[in-house]
Amino acid sequence: MTGNDNLLGSVPGFRFSAVECGIRYQGRLDYCLIAADAPCNAAGMFTKNRLFAAPVRLCRERTGNKIRAILINATNANACTGDEGYANAAALTADMAEKLGCGPEEILMCSTGIIGHQLPVDRMKASHPSLASKLSREAGALIPRAIMTTDTVPKSASRSFTTSRGRFTVAGTVKGSGMIAPDMATMLAFIITDAPVSKNDLDGVFRNAVNRTFNRITIDGDMSTNDTALLLSPDSDRPLSEKDDLGSFAKALEETLYDLAVMLVSDGEGATKLVTVRVIGAQNDADAAKAARAVAQSLLVKTAFFGNDPNWGRIGAAAGYSGAALDEKRLSIYYGDVPLLIRGVPQKQDQKALAPILAGREFTVTVDIGLGNAESTMLTTDISYEYVKINAEYTT
Amino acid sequence: MTGNDNLLGSVPGFRFSAVECGIRYQGRLDYCLIAADAPCNAAGMFTKNRLFAAPVRLCRERTGNKIRAILINATNANACTGDEGYANAAALTADMAEKLGCGPEEILMCSTGIIGHQLPVDRMKASHPSLASKLSREAGALIPRAIMTTDTVPKSASRSFTTSRGRFTVAGTVKGSGMIAPDMATMLAFIITDAPVSKNDLDGVFRNAVNRTFNRITIDGDMSTNDTALLLSPDSDRPLSEKDDLGSFAKALEETLYDLAVMLVSDGEGATKLVTVRVIGAQNDADAAKAARAVAQSLLVKTAFFGNDPNWGRIGAAAGYSGAALDEKRLSIYYGDVPLLIRGVPQKQDQKALAPILAGREFTVTVDIGLGNAESTMLTTDISYEYVKINAEYTT
């Protein structure tokens, strides 16, 4: 499950290409194309930031269409670029449409990188003949690397699944997570499948899977101007039916997105630990989600993770200010299986049991609110010196 | 305006004492008393954390009473200590009431420090004769130091003001800010005045002043289990009347709290910069406050402050995800007087003008949303290596 395995190329019906366009830096893949052999249904999930980039606007306008290709550039976000930025994205997709022999409205575009700079449109257009002519399944291996900004490793994942209509595959790649790097924002995720799913089903299944995976991770709590996740599935007169077939697709999709989410958060800047924050016993789903997010985003909790400190007081305090209903006398907190607080009573700490958990690369913190049955989980990381260093030392 | 100036001792009608009780550490002042010569009206503002400490419960129950004294201990928060913790606080105030010759319900108590440990009640009671007998105005100079946890300097401020009834003084001290230190949480603030103000007026004026000062600062966005601000004013048959007298008190109070808030945020752990985030042009007050808070709390913005990076993209993105109404084409961002974005258009950066602003210890970032007339201001700091170090290296 690394970017070198060409998991994208294993999905029939899609081809790929990537070039060193020199958009901001020389000598790196920074512009790529995912093209479908036949028109696809597309589902998209986008940043909720009111300051959203031109390509986000373009994707929002077009995901209702049948889609043939996605153009992706790294190192320039095309954000805070006004009407000119939008016109540039439209011109690039129109030019590529001509090369691919489809309509401009059938091409999506995503960008990630520095904010406030116009794309070098002429240089990018000059790459289009190469991008269009070099399409191959083999080049699927290049996409995870071409979309990276400060990611340290390319990320891809896939699942195959069996239906009454045969065996299908879902594969995806992702870059960045949260706004993790100086001006190099954005989570972008691209998922493809050869399973034919109706537009309506695709939207529902994708929204649900994203909410249970990508929307349950946090590194720094910031939300970018460009966050986008896209899913393409071939359009068909006979899409997968609702019952078992769609369920197996939904399961494979969610597992793929979960793998990508774990890779994302594990590659968070300067992160040394991957921590699952599990809230149980909340009065309702909203409370569970609020408490899990507050704990997972607390700077004090995250620095304690880095310091190998089983600081249940900070965890309890974060749950306490989350807005979730909470009563000290019902609250329990565990690191792994080791209880630190049981129904409001601090426990004598079993250092022998705690030490290996705290020193580990991955562990789970469980917060049992003790008021109901609702649960929620977040994946988070620690905050290390390296995080501050990476984010402070960049100068525009 | 430092803790050594005995600003508290300048307020007629109050006396003070502080001792080295050895609650958690030896050789430091950690237990102190603020006593009023006559019964006072009290106003209190408390943490909104649902996990709140025993002394917070006690203060909430008693601030409607006439108050004679406040007992304060540092190094142990008496939080997550259950019924025993509350009983301990009640017992300590009852014992002190006996020494002072008043009712137990006339004494408030505040605690700050480690979570999940019971107070050493016997040792603390053993200090009571000394605390009660050593009361003096001179000892006002000790209070700002006795309440410190990881604060690097004692903090106090005062204002005198003239009314038709004569000249009065308001003075206060504060410790900690947000949850800034490992298990040593909490902002505690104690304000006293010789101006007689009715309970009703005191509540309103204090709430307003706290909301415009202490509630507009952020260091790490965490909220402690013990945050408490208390204001005492002598009870009187003839309190200050509503018009000019009360206004001059309100002004002096707010100025005092503002001074204390600036001291707090300037003493934030590892902070090297004090930044005023000013949002103007918001559609309404709620939007202005949301945008200012999001920018001031953004980890990416704060690391950029530390790195001397005029990263207006991160500032715009934080305002964008704050929930405030916002339109790229109306948005402008300034560092000091230097525009970086004007109505959505990135400006050529005037490095010569920017460099001294960024390198300074204090500056203002202005975000003009351009949609209305509402404004809001937050004080914040940068996030430095030192912050992570302080918060990671502690082990319970």
Q: Which of B186, B218, B228, B366 is catalytic?
A: B186
Output the pLDDT for position B2. 45
Question: What's the pLDDT tens digit per position in A53-108?
Answer: 999 999 999 999 999 999 999 999 999 999 999 999 999 999 999 999 999 999 99
Best of B51, B119, B315, B335 to disrupt the A interface (most A CBs within 10 Å) is: B51
The answer on pLDDT for B184 being more than 50 is: no
For residue range A94-144, list pLDDT tens digits in order: 999 999 999 999 999 999 988 889 999 999 999 999 999 999 999 999 999
**Amino acid symbol at B158:** S
Helices (H), chain A: 54-62, 82-100, 121-133, 143-146, 199-212, 244-266, 285-297, 299-306, 312-321, 351-359, 385-392
- What is the rounded CA–CA span in Å between residue B219 and residue B383? 8
> According to the model, what pLDDT value does residue A220 have?
58
Q: Tell me if A297 sits within 8 A of A221, measured CB to CB.
A: yes
Q: Which of the two residues, B379 and B396, has the higher pLDDT score?
A: B379
Nearest to B282 by CA among A307, A254, A50: A50
Q: From A53, A51, A97, A41, select the one nearest A71 (Cα to Cα).
A: A97
Q: Which two tokens stand for residue B94?
A: 């009852």
Note the pLDDT of residue B150: 79
**Inter-chain contact B220–A299, Cβ cutoff 8 Å?**
yes
Q: Which domains does chain B have, with CATH numbers?
A: 3-266 (3.60.70.12), 274-392 (3.10.20.340)
Residue A186 · residue A176 · CB < 8 Å? yes
Contact B39, B67 (CB under 8 A): yes
Q: Is residue B131 within 8 Å of B147, Cβ to Cβ?
A: no
Of the ranges A5-9, A255-259, A351-355, B244-248, which one carries the lowest mean pLDDT score? B244-248
Confidence of residue B222 (pLDDT cuts 50, 70, 90): low
Q: Which residue has the higher pLDDT, A312 or A306?
A: A312
Query: For B51, which of A48, A306, A320 is closest by C-beta distance?
Result: A320
Give the one of A220, A312, A320 whose C-beta lies nearest to B225's C-beta.
Answer: A320
In this prediction, residue B148 carries a pLDDT of 92
Please give the backbone phi and psi of residue A274, each rounded to the nearest 5 degrees, phi first: -115, 115
pLDDT score, position A179:
44
pLDDT confidence of residue A218: 67
CB pairs < 8 Å spanning A and B = 206
Q: What is the mean pLDDT of residues B51-69?
A: 96
What pairs with residue A46 in β-bridges?
Answer: A228
Q: What is the pLDDT of residue A184?
A: 41
Mean pLDDT calculated for residue range A194-199: 97
pLDDT band at A219 (very low <50, low <70, confident <90, very high): low
Mean pLDDT for the stretch of residues B266-293: 89
The nearest CA of chain A is from the CA of B396 a distance in Å of: 6
What's residue B240's pLDDT? 93
Chain B residues whose CB is inside 8 A of the A75 CB are none
| B80 to chain A, closest Cα gap in Å | 6
Length reported for chain A: 396
CA gap A205, B63 in Å, rounded: 54
Query: Is pLDDT above 50 for B322?
Result: yes
Based on its alpha-carbon atoms, the radius of gyration of chain B, rounded to whole angstroms, reads: 22
B95-153 pLDDT, tens digit per residue, is 999 999 999 999 999 999 888 899 999 999 999 999 999 999 999 999 999 999 878 88
Statement: residue A163 has pLDDT above 80 = yes
Q: Which of the four pLDDT bands, split at 50, 70 and 90, describes residue A145?
A: very high
* Mean pLDDT value across chain B: 90
How would residue B157 be classed by pLDDT, with cut points 50, 70 and 90? Answer: very high
- Chain B residues with CB inside 8 Å of A182's CB? 304, 307, 309, 311
- Write down the mean pLDDT value for chain A: 90
Give the gap in angstroms from C-alpha B261 to the nearest C-alpha of chain A: 21
pLDDT at A180 over 50: no
The number of C-alpha atoms within 13 Å of A251 and in the hemisphere containing its C-beta is: 11
Higher pLDDT, B70 or B179: B70
Residue A224 pLDDT: 80
Give the confidence band of B214 by pLDDT, cuts at 50, 70, 90.
confident
Reported as a single tens digit per residue, the pLDDT across B130-142 is 999 999 999 999 9
